[in-house]
Each structure stands twice: as C-alpha cells, then as structure tokens.
Amino acid sequence: MKQPPISGRYELQEVIGMGGMSVIYAAWDLKYDRPVAIKVLRAELGVDEDFIRRFDQEAQAASRMSHPNIVDLYDVGQDGDIRYLAMEFVKGSTLKDLIRQSGSIHPLLAVQMALRILAAVDHAHINQIVHRDIKPQNILVTEDGVIKVADFGIARAINQSTYTSRDGNVLGSVHYFSPEQASGKVVDEKSDLYSVGVVLYEMLTGQVPFDGETAVSVAYMHVNEPPVPPREINPEVSPGLNEVVMKALEKVTARRYHSAADMATDLKKAIKMPKGGFIPEHPEDAAERDARRARRKRNFLRAIRLMVSFLILIAVSAGIVLGVQWYRRTANATTVPAAVTFPREEAIQRLEGAGLNWYIEEKFDEDIEFGVVMGEDPEAGESVLRGDTVDLIVSLGRERIMMPELISMTRRDASLVIISSRLTNGEFVLVISDATPGTVIDQSPGAGEWVVPGEVVTLYVSGQTGFVPAVIGMPSIDEARAALTATGFKLGDVVEHPSEEPEGTVIGQTIEAGELALLGAEINISVAQAIPTVYYAEVSITVNVKNEGDVVRWILDEGTDEEKEVHNEKYGVGKKSITEELQSLRSGAHLLFVYVGGVLQVEKSVNFKERK
C-alpha cells in the first residue's frame, strides 16, 4: 500500500540515503510543487531521548543558516510518530563518490572545492555552529559543480562544551575528526578546519592521512603521528598548497588555522604563490631552530679554539690572500644596469656589457607585454662584482589557456573540466541530436583555441526530443494545449486569424506535425476568428490646393481611439475632385476630415452600408 503524504504535504518516493539515526527519501512537496529531500528519524530511535535531541539539534542548527554552499532546510515537523526534516533536494553525487571515481582530484579543482566548503563552514561558525562531522560523504556536488555541505546531525552551538554521546562514544567520523575529538576534549571551530584539511588531503592524494584496521588505531594516529605530506604522495601538489594542508592538520589547535577565512586566504595564496613561503614559521619552531643554531655556534667556537695555533701560523699568508682578494673586489666592482621596462634581449646586452651573468624567470602579467623585463634582483644601481648573476623576471604577457576538448562528454563532466581549467561555465544550449541526451555535441570557444582564464564557455548539449503532435483541426485552444502537454511540449503564443472555419478551431501551428523537436519547446498556434462584415461608402470630395505638392489627407473617425487614414496623396495647385470607395467594419454614419497641406478644409458625415 502506498504511504499517504507526510503531514498531508510530502509524498515519499524512494530511499536515497541511510544514516546512523535517520533515513533520507527523495520526495515531492505537494504544496510548492517541487522536489525535496525528507530526512526521517528511524522509527526504533523515536523513543530514545538522546537521538531525538540530536535530531532536533540538527534542525535548530540548519534553521540558523542560509548559504549557497549549505543544503537549505525548508521545514521541520512531526506526523504522528514520524519526526522529519524537509530539505533542499540536491541532484548530483557526494564528494566521496567523485574521489572514488577519479582516484584524486586535480589540485586546482580541489582548491576551488575546498574554498566553497570553507565558505559554508565559515557561515556556520559566524552563526555559532560547529559542524563536527565534515567529511566527503557529507559534501554534495551538483551536476553543475556546485558544492553543498549537508548533515548537521551532530553540530553544536560554539558555547556548548559536551561532545560525547550518553555512552561515552566520541561523535564524528574517525578518519576525519580532529585530535581533540579523538581525545574527547572540547571541540571548537578549529576542529572543523582540521576536518576540512583531511578532506582536502584526500582530494589531492586519493587517500586519508591516517588509516588502520580499527577505529582506535586511527584515532591514535590523529593524536600522536604526523601525516605524510601530500606532496610526497602526489608531486602535482605545489609546495605552497602542501604548506596549507600541513598547517590545517597541526595536532595543537593553537598552531592550526584560527578561522575558515584565514585558511581560504592561504589557499588563494597557494594558487598565486605555488612555491610557498607565505605561511610564517611558528614561534616554537623558530625557538627550536635558534637552539640548533646556538649548538652549532658553540661547536664551531670549540673547533676555532683548537685551531687557533694553526691560524696564527698562517696569519701572514691569510693576510696576503685577503689583500689580493680585496684588490680583486675593488678592481672587479661594477654597478647593476637598469633592465626593467627593456625588451629581454636588450636587457641581456646591458647586463653582459657590465660583465654580469643573468638568469631569467618568466611570469604571466595582465598589463606588461610579452618579452619585457618587469623585475631584476639585485636592483639597478646596486654595487656587485663582475661575474655575479642578476635575476630577471620577464613577462609572458597575458596568460592564455588552450581550450580543452569537451565534445562527447556528459554535461556534468564537461562542467568540471571547465572549472578545473580555470574557465567559466556559460549557457547550456539544448539542441536536437542523435547523441545520447545530456551529451556535449559542440562547444564555444572550440577545442584548441587560446582563451584567457575566466573565459565563458557555451556548451551545446543533446536534448531529449519527441514528435510534434497534430493540433490543426482541433476545436479549441484547451484541446491543443492538452495534446501538446501530453507529448512533452508547451503551448506558446495564440494568434487569431479570420477564417471560414468554426470560431476557435486551430488552423495553424509553427512546428509541423510529425517533426522532431526538443521536449519542452513552445509551439505557437493560430485559431479561427469569425470573418467580419465589411461596410462600404463611395465618397467624392472637392478641395482647393493652394501650394504645389500639398498633401491631401482623409481621416475617418469610426468612434474608436485610433485615427484611420484613408487617403494620402500630393496634388498640384487648383481645385481637385477626389472620389474614393471607403471601407469600415462599423456600419452607420462616421465623420470624415479632409486636410490640405495640414489645414482642415472639409468635415463630412459619411454613411457606411453593406454592399448589395
């Protein structure tokens, strides 16, 4: 037997997810005529106060948030023994599924996804909510590549400090929770950022940083063992991105990112500064480094004392050598010439002319044209020795990207490639094609073309098609609309035309019956309108034309708001007799106004009758 709609509103369709305390259904909202996801507390847990509290807790957390990267909560309710949440239905897959399918995600796309996750986490933290269960299984990716964070089932307000269940078990997913969750300690915003770091690690490498045979062994690793840097697993991970991940996975919360915004800022820096170096050294690391330097210094001084006797013996020789070196430095001194703003070859000639070597690093730049030097180190005017090397930074001009081949991909896969290529998804144009619906059959710009980052890409996608039904001859607009709707089309504009067919009969359609067209296309129709009766009157008017080429205009007033011009012609000077047979759709007497050269000369009543 089909289950009646929950609360008379939500019609359950199929199970799309199972959790520890709930079942998630695809459903239809009868009130707003839209798809929704219904999360229902498992019946066997409906008497457990702890699970009821956690279910209500999710509703309270979700109701405080509204963000494009967080699954929207539409409704909370109870129908008898059924407790439920009505949420936004997200069509797509989980991030976990995408990682399993691809093994790992390209670093650039992984960073873009992590930025959207951080935006959602930041919104939750601003609203005083700690998610506590960030993991790829709780992150949804739509068919258009939009990130949605879901499942606030164990979220807590930041000012609450109890983080274990009634039986003492730590809440969360062991592969993704923070060291403080593993230790049963107080959890705050930085715990979510640790979990985001684990998710980013898994996107980049295809594996979690810690894994073991038991949950206890994994928790132990989170607390005590350092992770293998992701760059050692995937060499495509840049040093800068590697630094961001390792900082997010710090064991001590004080050494971790303090906010989602801070982590997002460093992720953006990792794109612009892939060589890293933008994360400052932690004071404890600096202290350890200084201690090592001090030990080396003491050892060095000890060695110096042992060698002092020997140094005395060679002091004279050393003085001679130093003197020679000083002479050479003085004789070989030169000044770095200006190279910035000069073309590459000219800059090299200037350096070589000063007896200097050079090293070139090339970078893209939006403003400086190709081949022009935009930086040098040491700077112009500094004193150096002949033979020293000057580093030049030469512009590659505006960055260009070769447009990837997208044809034959699914619409979703093509969207992900566009995003990973640092391009922008534009319009999706549905076209008729023999290809499988949803397949890209053309693209603009074309594959192999050079484009700039952010370029908008239009995809032409094979749409579902059907044969247009015949509606000509149907007696009413409603019947034509029903026939079109039943076959997947829409009724467009309706135009009336005079016809001998019965009034309201369909007499034309814009796409002929039997033609193949995209489902959902609008089809315009024309319907019969009764042929109106035409009334006639023969009128003769004599006017006096005073100026050569004056225009004679007849204006007929039929009692409507619109002026009707029935004669307009130029004439020579003199009296002119003009005869016209006039027509009107209204019988009876109408006023006729005759203007010559813009001046009213005649006003006459004209009687219109049916032609015998």
Would you name the residues annotated as active-site residues?
133
Instruction: With beta carbons less than 8 A apart as the criterion, state whether 243 and 270 touch.
Output: yes
543 burial via Cβ count (<10 Å: 0-12, 13-18, 19+)? buried
- 55 CB contacts (<8 Å, ≥6 apart)? 21, 22, 41, 83, 85, 153
Region of 32 (left: φ > 0; alpha: ψ -120 to 50; beta: rest) is: alpha
Cα pseudo-dihedral 179, 184, 189, 191, rounded to 10: 20
Instruction: With beta carbons less than 8 A apart as the criterion, state whether 194 and 214 touch.
Output: no
Instruction: Give the H/E segment covering residue 477.
Output: helix 477-486
* Cα separations in angstroms, 576 against 220, 482, 594, 604: 112, 60, 12, 17
Closest CA to 201 of 260, 244, 146, 145: 244
| Count of alpha carbons within 13 angstroms of residue 375, beta-carbon side | 11
Q: Which residue has the tokens 């979990």?
A: 195
d(CA 135, CA 152): 12
- 134 CB contacts (<8 Å, ≥6 apart)? 117, 121, 149, 176, 192, 195, 196, 199
> Beta strands 599-610 and 588-596: pairing type?
antiparallel
**Cβ atoms within 10 Å of 339's Cβ, excluding its own:** 26
- 581 CB contacts (<8 Å, ≥6 apart)? 536, 537, 538, 539
Main-chain phi, psi angles of 60, to 5 degrees: -65, -40
DSSP for 539-568 reads EEEEEEE-STTEEEEEEEE-SSSS-EEEEE
Residue 523 in tokens:
């089809």
**Cβ atoms within 10 Å of 332's Cβ, excluding its own:** 13
Instruction: With beta carbons less than 8 A apart as the criterion, state whether 155 and 124 touch.
Output: yes
Instruction: With beta carbons less than 8 A apart as the criterion, state whether 182 and 222 touch.
Output: yes
**3-state secondary structure string across 119-160:** HHHHHHHHCCEECCCCCHHHEEEECCCCEEECCCCCCEECCC
DSSP state of 342: S
Q: Which residue has the tokens 């001590």?
A: 252
**3-state secondary structure string across 215-259:** HHHHHHHHHHCCCCCHHHHCCCCCHHHHHHHHHHCCCCHHHCCCC
